[in-house]
Amino acid sequence: MTKKITRRQALLAASAVVFLPVANGQGSATNISPSTVFSHGVASGDPDSTSVVIWTRVSGSEGALDTTWRVATDERMFNIVATGSVQTDSSIDYTVKVVVKDLVPGQQYFYDFRARDEASVIGRTKTLPVGHVENLVFAVVTCSNYAFGHFNVYEAIANDLSIDLVVHLGDYIYEHGADGFGADVASRIGRAHVPSHETLTLDDYRKRHAQYKTDVSSQAMHAQQPLIVIWDDHETANNPWMNGAENHDPGEGDWNARRQASLQAYYEWLPIREPVVGGAKDEYWRHFKFGDLVSLITLESRHTGRSRQISYGDYLPNLQTAEQAREFKESVLDDTRRNMLSEDMERFLATELKESVNANRRWRLIGNQSVIAKSISPKLNKPFFEELMKSLDKPGSDKLKSLTRFGDLELPDDLDTWEGYPAARERFYTIAKSAGANDLLVLSGDSHSFWANQLFDENNEAMGLELGATGVTSPRSLLVLGDEGLKRFDESNAADNKEIVWSDGRHRGFIRLSINHQKVHADFIAVSNVETREYVIQPIRAFDIEKEGETLRYS
Ligand SMILES: [Fe+2]
């Protein structure tokens, strides 16, 4: 419960280990004093204009434990505006989550926790603004695989104090065991997954979240910036749909039990609000309103409505000619019964987009999991790729051969994305058009590439633009092509697809969005390296986005 405390009480309590914001400079934000009790750091997120979730976790306890928390308007925690006590125990893995209420809109706050005579570091957070808002800065990230590298991207974000909040588009953790995806890199750099087996049970998912939260750069970013986070597939298992997942085998137990375990751990370990009473954990969607400047509506596209992914393995023997490819598209891919979003999710989207248009907010952002632009495989019948083919080993040349075949047949290569659900994509656009929102700015994760795309519905009506974030650490799956091959693949992708303006699969990084009423400025920022803690920040491309009539354009 929120209550005021006196200034004297605040001063007495102000002997905590202090985490002060730092100026730009690599490495500086991670100088956090270690705490044995609060060894997973602090975090905040899921804000609205008068409340925000603050989070921590208490280590080494047995039985129930009281944790006190404080919120102040200054970084030295003198001017305390709210404080309280909350109990945690093993039923929630000793995580601590408080929805701090009755705060002032658009205000920066600082917070900390105390338990067993120890204090946490001090975190910084912010409520959403109301009324006229001049500008906002978001960092957009996705695909943070502990095994594939150091979270240098998180550190770069922690050091940029102009960032108002971080939008994480999913794959916050990965489910693979220590011998799975990323194992070679992990053993080279000492970041093997814990537990060492694939996560299946509640205990497994808790341990995996705990490991990710021990990362110093993760702790620095979460202490410094509030988080808006959605899940994609790997928070549970690769490529899930309503009743299963590609990476869930019959021997791994009941799918629903596994999904519930993963979602329970997710709610425990991330600074997000619990579902309303009677609501289900998987119904996880939000509309964040930033005064008159931005609406950010987030999607759930994995567990509540998605039809099973089409597997090329079932169709490839009969996909040899252009005629067969056309038939496959018409009868299988375009099946209008195939869903990406649940009916409830679509209803929420329709209502909230309408509200955003009626409120005359300047920009409508969508927090989306996988890339939505139409992108068939590019044509690779070029001398460079023919030469490359000769130099590759068997798995490499098989991969390039299948890409070449998809390109020849004008088919997409990844049917887990919106490309595998074209009818659902059209429904998404129809909902937006009905709300008067042909000006979507879709933010997408999952692909481990940067993207700047433009979006059109099946009648060629402009629907807005899409910005795709590359992985924090996860690499593009086409590494077999090599650096030059990836560059040429991306160039061919843009040349062969009307909706792709630019893509880049060669870098790890984040998007920094600087938003005002005139334009959205998108910086695609890479880090030079994720396999050591030393790195350089490399801005690799920037786009300005402006309104043009009813829609958006790159300027
Ligand atoms: Fe990913």
Name all domains of the chain by residue range, CATH numbers in brackets.
1-128 (2.60.40.380), 312-505 (3.60.21.70)
Q: pLDDT per residue over 172-224, tens digit each?
A: 999 999 999 999 999 999 999 999 999 999 999 999 999 999 999 999 999 99
User: Which distant-in-sequence residues (6+ apart) come within 8 Å of 312 by Cβ?
Assistant: 319, 415
Query: How many angstroms is it from 143 CA to the middle of ligand 1?
Result: 4
- DSSP states along 201-213: SHHHHHHHHHHHH
Task: Among 13-27, 73-87, 320-334, 506-520, name the one with the lowest average pLDDT.
Answer: 13-27
Give the chain's largest Cα–Cα span.
80
Is the CB of residue 235 less than 8 Å from the CB of residue 212? Answer: no
Where does residue 422 fall: left (phi above 0), alpha (psi -120 to 50 degrees), or beta otherwise? alpha
Q: Is 334 exposed, middle or buried (0-12, 13-18, 19+ CB in 10 A)?
A: middle
CB atoms within 10 A of CB 469: 27
CA distance 517 to 448: 30
Q: How many CB atoms lie within 10 A of CB 175?
A: 25
- Reduced to 3 states (helix: H, G, I; strand: E, B; else coil), residue 93 is coil
Rg (CA), the chain: 23
CA 142 to ligand 1 center in whole angstroms: 7
- Rounded CA gap, 85 and 103, in Å? 17
Alpha-carbon distance of 507 to 306, in angstroms, equals: 30
Q: List 42's β-bridge partners, or say none.
A: 56
- CA of residue 233 to ligand 1 center, whole Å: 8
Helices 422-434, 343-358: inter-axial angle, 10-degree rounding: 30
Distance 447 CA to ligand 1 centre (A): 6
Report residue 26's pLDDT band, with 50, 70 and 90 as the boundaries: very low
Q: Are 412 and 333 in contact (CB under 8 A)?
A: no
| Alpha carbon of 168 to ligand 1 centroid (Å) | 12
- The answer, yes or no, to whether residue 162 has pLDDT greater than 80, is yes
CB 124 within 8 A of CB 223: yes
Which stretch of DSSP H or E encloses residue 483? helix 482-496
Please give the model's pTM, rounded to 2 decimal places.
Answer: 0.94
Q: What confidence score (pLDDT) does residue 33 get?
A: 58
Q: Encode pLDDT of 413-431 as tens digits.
A: 999 999 999 999 999 999 9
| Distance from the alpha carbon of residue 471 to the mean position of ligand 1, in angstroms | 7
| CA of residue 73 to ligand 1 center, whole Å | 37
Residue ranges in 59-201 assigned as alpha helix (H): 152-158, 183-189
